[in-house]
Amino acid sequence: MPRSDSRAADQLREISFEPDIAPHATGSVLVSFGKTRVICAATIQDEVPRWMKVQGVQGGWLTAEYSMLPYSTLDRKDRDISRGKLDGRSQEIQRLIGRSLRAVVDLKKLGSRTLWIDCDVLQADGGTRTASITGACVAATMAFNRLLAKGTLREQPMTRKVAAISVGIYKNEALLDLCYEEDRDAEVDCNLVMTEDGRFVEIQGSGEESTFTDEQLAAMLVLGKKGIKELCALQSAAIEAAAPAKGIAKAAPKSNVDVASLEAAFKKL
């Protein structure tokens, strides 16, 4: 069955990570899953929540916030502040982002600090939560690398990469990385959060006025694992290509000029 964007059933949308989109954050990326675009920013503060101090909990903390900008959807979405409370869906997603990152971050190595993950959806075309988790991992790793380079951190808190992807049953076929149209009309919708070494962090799956079989679940898991593996490879490339650490001077380029000869020439002038 041809998909609306001509992808194969097991093919991801075009994935990209644009680093340092938010220059005041410790680490940030603009992650794109096709037309879905999310700014993921990681900011580290030198303090921990009050409850950790009261309970004497050692190490740091990680928390996440998620929001969809009013113009990210076809119809304008009201800001949460205009309703006076956080949207239930947004609350559920930001908790998922926090759980996903805490599964791969050693909070004791973070020290008495809080890592804030902010995910703001610029454009939504399905898979905003999976894009947020995948981009947040890149942003957080960039932030950690910069603090390690500055000597603020002694050890890398990120134990391994984590990524997320959607799978589903659409018109009786298992598909990877659903766009909005497929997600809206899918008989089964599932989101997988996994680590780079193939371990599950979370599985969210449900039939949309439908049921699914063992065979269909197995087919979705196969697609999901393939997608996660590809995402983790793209994450690694993005982290490797990220800008040098803020405040860390680049090493001077090597020169083939004979410095001693230059000094001697200047003395003759």
The CA distances from residue 247 to 35, 63, 132, 146, 155, in Å, are 34, 26, 27, 9, 19
**Mean pLDDT, residues 196-202 taken together:** 97
Residue 205 in marked binding region: no
**Could you read off the pLDDT of 214-247 as tens digits, one per residue?**
999 999 999 999 999 999 999 999 999 985 544 3
**Mean pLDDT, residues 171-184 taken together:** 95
Name the percent of the chain lying above pLDDT 90.
Answer: 77
The CA distances from residue 210 to 3, 127, 145, 175, 214, in Å, are 21, 21, 45, 16, 14
Residue 128 in marked binding region: yes
Q: Tell me what pLDDT residue 263 has.
A: 45
CATH assignment of 15-74+88-242? 3.30.230.70
- The confidence band for 162, taking pLDDT boundaries of 50, 70 and 90, is very high
- What is the phi-psi region of residue 224: left when phi exceeds 0, alpha when psi lies from -120 to 50, beta otherwise? alpha
- Given a cut of 80, whether residue 252 has pLDDT beyond it is no
**Mean pLDDT, residues 41-62 taken together:** 93
Q: Tell me what pLDDT residue 244 has.
A: 52
Residue 37 in marked binding region: no
- Given a cut of 90, whether residue 261 has pLDDT beyond it is no
Name the percent of the chain lying above pLDDT 70.
Answer: 89
Q: Tell me what pLDDT residue 243 has.
A: 56
**Alpha carbon distance 2, 105 (integer Å):** 40
Residue 127 in marked binding region: yes
Q: Tell me what pLDDT residue 247 has.
A: 39
Q: How many whole angstroms from its chain centre is CA 22?
A: 14
Q: Tell me what pLDDT residue 21 has.
A: 95
The CA distances from residue 223 to 130, 218, 247, 260, in Å, are 15, 9, 42, 62
- Given a cut of 60, whether residue 144 has pLDDT beyond it is yes
Structure tokens at 202: 């979370």
In terms of pLDDT, which residue wins out, 209 or 136? Answer: 136
- pTM exceeds 0.85 for this model: yes
Burial (Cβ within 10 Å: 0-12, 13-18, ≥19) of residue 117: buried
Number of Cβ within a 10 Å radius of residue 184: 12
**Could you read off the pLDDT of 59-94 as tens digits, one per residue?**
999 999 999 988 898 888 877 777 777 788 899 999
Q: Tell me what pLDDT residue 41 has.
A: 98
List the chain domain ranges. Answer: 15-74+88-242
As a whole number, the mean pLDDT across the chain is 89
